[in-house]
Chain A
């Protein structure tokens, strides 16, 4: 008798991939990574496999945009009808194909944030309508990733199906009934055999060697390191380099700060109230009406960003809100690199368990 989890694995031959994507796109709208210029990729709606680019390095924006859109209407109002605000329609069910483990981790973080009471129904309703198909990274995407540090280099749930490229076929882990329904509907899959599972195990074994802690630090000691680093010199260095453009927060899979704005139509009576991604890195973010700014310096704002990834959420949710995707380092115009910041923290942290 084989391992009990055998029934959760299927195969998809590479030559059947094209047919799979075409059929999947017919079930409901399908988003997947698409190439957008040199080293740039984006999740976009596709209908055929030749639009999809595999392998890919993390997309400019994470798939967060489907769960928590950059611009999302909260209310539609019509002031001619008194103070009338109607319910809002949002896009229907969809599938996202090719979500890397870093971005799966990002979605898991946002799920926690938006289900804390008072629950955010806009997010939770969208979330329930999205089917997620993950895709394993067999190697590092580039030098900016730090997924091993935050335990996001191997799959740990958060998907309906999970694809791993094993040469001339994908092995597919079925994690939910929604995933199994795709297997049934698309009819391109065959059950995995013991040899396929051994191939998968061999890949994971190889990955454990390739994906090593990207900074010289055991992740268990990250919160303690941040506990002693609030007044450390590294933040002064970031203060001098940061341009306060907000790129790092715009591309982050776990940033969720937003602004709420009203937009009046030309009839001066109807309009929408919408929320739009905002950034704690911009100067007026923590400013109050009286004029005081509680995070006036770029030092305080950059420090806030790092603490919101490695310290504050760890106390609240028992997980890091850095997924190791590397987007903030890739997008920074001033060349601020997350791995370098962490390395500086370690060297400035003096003696402690984080020093190894």
Chain B
């Protein structure tokens, strides 16, 4: 029987090389990656890629670095699944496959000229780090920037050194809170929601950008609404399982929308009534 060759498959990967790894916690590692031919990934903050290991599979991972860094990009990976665990066994010099970037990132052009209240819970810092770096690299294009960061314990803090740099800047206000801590922690202890009432902001020109574990959204959104930030100025990014990244496989579907193509970044006003969103 005659055979047809499919050489333009959407599933073809781009070769890439890990150039640096940095263990952030026992579970999370930061990988710096260079695409074959030294091409730029050319992503938007908030977009994700499919990371591919032949023989193991693919996993959707958000890009954790700003597109202003053009020679390489970074991903922050928590070892929880087959692909992510296998990824943790790799080191500088190893090759991986990349598809993407996919999805709609943060609406940066709309953010410009406005104030930002960025709320990151746990691994939610990964996509938000891309946005934070972008804002800092283009600092005068944005208004005030508040960063509220939280995680379970001081040992779980990601990007601690960058956090110190952000703290030292006069053009960013940042606070870090942990759910519980031993005696050597001098910062606040409690839920991230407790930081929001103390932030001085002008709600009509503030965008609240929230990324964290699913359980966090409901409570953080409630606090942002209490600060009178309009629903369409509350920006969220959703985590879903994905196989294709191209709006077909159905895994990431929330009612009639595909998280991979219509998101992962959404306005709260667009998803607040969706039963499968939160």
> Residue B244 at the A interface, CB < 8 A?
yes
> Which A63-101 residues sit within 8 Å CB-CB of chain B?
74-75, 77, 79, 82-83, 85, 87-93
A91 touches B4 (CB 8 A): yes
B240 and A288 form a contact (CB under 8 A)? yes
Q: State whether B241 touches A286 (Cβ < 8 A).
A: yes
Q: Are B3's CB and A287's CB within 8 A?
A: no
Interface: B165 (CB within 8 A)? no
Contacts of A120 in B (CB 8 A): 10, 246, 248
Contacts of A90 in B (CB 8 A): 3-6
Given contacts A88-B5, A92-B1, A290-B80, contact A75 B249 (CB under 8 A): no
Indicate if B44 sits at the interface (CB-CB under 8 A): no
Q: How many A-B residue pairs have CB under 8 A?
A: 151
Q: Are A285 and B4 in contact (CB under 8 A)?
A: no
Contact with B along A122-152 (1 / 0, CB 8 A): 1001100100000000000000000000000
- Determine whether the beta carbon of A118 is less than 8 Å from that of B251: no
Interface centre among A83, A120, A280 (most CB of B within 10 A): A83
Query: Distance (Å) between the CB of A27 and the closest chain B CB?
Result: 12
- List residues of chain B with CB within 8 A of the CB of A91: 1, 3-4
A258 at interface, CB cutoff 8 A: yes
A-contact 0/1 string along B245-264, CB 8 Å cutoff: 01111110111100000000
Whole-angstrom distance between the Cβ of A258 and the nearest chain B Cβ: 5
Bound CA span A77–B213, Å: 35
Whether A125 contacts B54 by the Cβ 8 Å rule is no
Of A75, A275, A290, the residue contacting B239 (CB under 8 A) is A290
Residues of B within 8 A of A79 (CB): 54-55
What is the bound-complex CA distance between A30 and B160, given in angstroms?
Answer: 64
Q: Which residues of chain B are near A93, meaning CB under 8 Å?
A: 2, 4
Structural contact, A262 and B9, CB atoms closer than 8 A: no
CB distance from B276 to the nearest CB of A (A): 5
B247–A262 touching, CB < 8 Å: no
- Complex CA gap A242/B86 in Å reads 36
A316 with B256: CB separation less than 8 A? yes
Contact B12 A75, beta carbon cutoff 8 Å: yes
A211 close to chain B: CB less than 8 A = no
**Total number of B residues with any Cβ neighbor in A under 8 Å:** 47
How many residues of chain A get a CB closer than 8 Å to chain B's CBs? 57
B-chain residues with CB within 8 Å of residue A85 when the two chains form the complex: 12-13, 54, 97
Q: How far is the CB of A328 from chain B (nearest CB, A)?
A: 16
Whether the pair A92, B54 counts as a contact (CB closer than 8 A) is no
Which residues of chain B are near A278, meaning CB under 8 Å?
243, 249-251
Residue of B nearest to A311 (CB): B256
In the complex, are the beta carbons of B95 and A294 less than 8 A apart?
A: no
Interface residue A181 (Cβ < 8 Å from any Cβ of B) = no
Closest residue of chain A to B56 (Cβ to Cβ) is A262
Chain A residue contacts of B246, Cβ below 8 A: 118, 120
Whether the Cβ atoms of A262 and B55 lie closer than 8 Å is: yes
B65 at the interface (CB under 8 A from A): no
The 8 Å CB contact of A271, one of B10, B54, B250, B254, is: B54
Are the C-beta atoms of B6 and A29 separated by less than 8 Å?
no
Residues of A within 8 Å of B256, CB to CB, are: 307, 311-312, 315-316
| Nearest CB of chain A from residue B161's CB, rounded to whole Å | 26
Contact of A122 among B9, B57, B81, B250 (CB under 8 A): B9
Chain A CB count within 10 A is highest, among B6, B214, B251, for B6
Give the dominant DSSP class at B's interface.
Answer: loop
**Chain B residues whose CB sits within 8 angstroms of the CB of A92 once the complex forms:** 1-4
Q: Does B58 sit at the interface, judged by CB under 8 A?
A: yes
Which of A83, A87, A286, A292 is B6 in contact with, Cβ under 8 Å? A87
Among B1, B251, B277, the most chain A Cβ lie within 10 Å of the Cβ of B251
A125 touches B6 (CB 8 A): yes
Partner of A82, one of B4, B95, B275: B95
| Per-residue interface assignment for chain A, residues 258 to 299, with 1 indicating a CB less than 8 Å from any chain B CB and 0 otherwise | 111110100010010101001010000111111010110000
Known contacts being A83-B95, A83-B96, is A273 close to B248, with CB within 8 Å? no
A75 & B11 in contact (Cβ 8 Å cutoff): yes
Residue of B nearest to A231 (CB): B275
Residues of chain A contacted by B249 (CB below 8 angstroms): 257-260, 275, 278
A114 close to chain B: CB less than 8 A: yes
Taken together as a complex, chains A and B put the C-alpha atoms of A290 and B96 apart, in Å, by: 23
| A292 and B11 within 8 A (CB) | no
A4 within 8 A of B: no
A301 to B228: give the CA distance in the assembly, Å. Answer: 36
Per CB-CB distance, the 7 closest pairs between chain A and chain B, nearest first, are: A92-B2, A257-B250, A87-B7, A312-B256, A89-B3, A74-B11, A264-B55
**Chain A residues with a Cβ under 8 A of chain B:** 29, 74-75, 77, 79, 82-83, 85, 87-93, 113-114, 116, 118-122, 125-126, 129, 230, 256-262, 264, 268, 271, 273, 275, 278, 280, 285-290, 292, 294-295, 300, 304, 307, 311-312, 315-316
- 17 CB contacts below 8 A, A to B, read A75-B9, A83-B95, A85-B13, A90-B6, A92-B2, A121-B8, A121-B10, A258-B243, A262-B56, A264-B55, A271-B54, A275-B243, A278-B243, A287-B241, A288-B239, A288-B240, A289-B59
Beyond the given A74-B11, A278-B249, A289-B78, please list 20 additional residue pairs across the A-B interface where CB-CB is below 8 A: A75-B12, A82-B95, A85-B13, A85-B54, A88-B9, A93-B2, A118-B10, A121-B9, A122-B10, A125-B4, A260-B11, A273-B11, A273-B58, A286-B241, A286-B253, A287-B241, A288-B241, A289-B80, A290-B214, A294-B254
